Amino acid sequence: MEKEVIHKELDLIQDVIKCMASNSFEVKKWLIGILSAIVVFSREELLGGNIQLIGLLLVPVLCFWYLDAFFLSTEKLYREMYKWVIEYRSQTDKYLYDLNTMSREFPADKVVDFIIPKNNVWHVMFSKTLLPFYSVPVVFIVAYAVMQCLSNCPVSCCWH
């Protein structure tokens, strides 16, 4: 197999990896922007203890957290594909330029599955890179909601 063909395939995979990394970064930027906008435009209601609005802050955090994990999980899948191409492409033209198949049957006695537990979206969500970034806002939002609930009403009304 020509090295030019291998390099072209690796370039395609690298482009997908770059796109997923870029998407992950964009998700973080959008989250910060949306949370900032909600806090700025709803400052009085948040400071007034509007529990529903405080709870509404959790929705974008959780949605963007999942979306970010999805992009990083997909990036990891393509990194596994990249490794496979480096190792086996010179021996076969099977799956040439196939960026959709996440399992490869080569060599003949081995099936390589790129979808492994460490690449799972839920595993990535709780990885050491995403957990601190998204858990900090969640903890602050929940703590603020609890603090507002406890300071604005008697204990008996908050839990019923």
Mean pLDDT score of the chain, rounded to an integer? 89
Question: What's the token pair of residue 57?
Answer: 């802050």
The residue type at 13: I
Length, in residues, of the chain: 160
pLDDT band at residue 13 under the 50/70/90 scheme = very high
* Whole-number pLDDT of residue 42: 83
Q: Which alpha helices (H) appear in the chain, and where do they start and end? A: 3-41, 43-47, 51-56, 58-88, 121-125, 130-152, 155-158
- pTM for this prediction: 0.86
pLDDT-above-90 percentage for the chain: 57
Cis bond leading into 107, ω under 30°? yes
pLDDT tens sequence across 20-74:
999 999 999 999 999 999 888 888 887 777 778 888 889 999 999 999 999 999 9
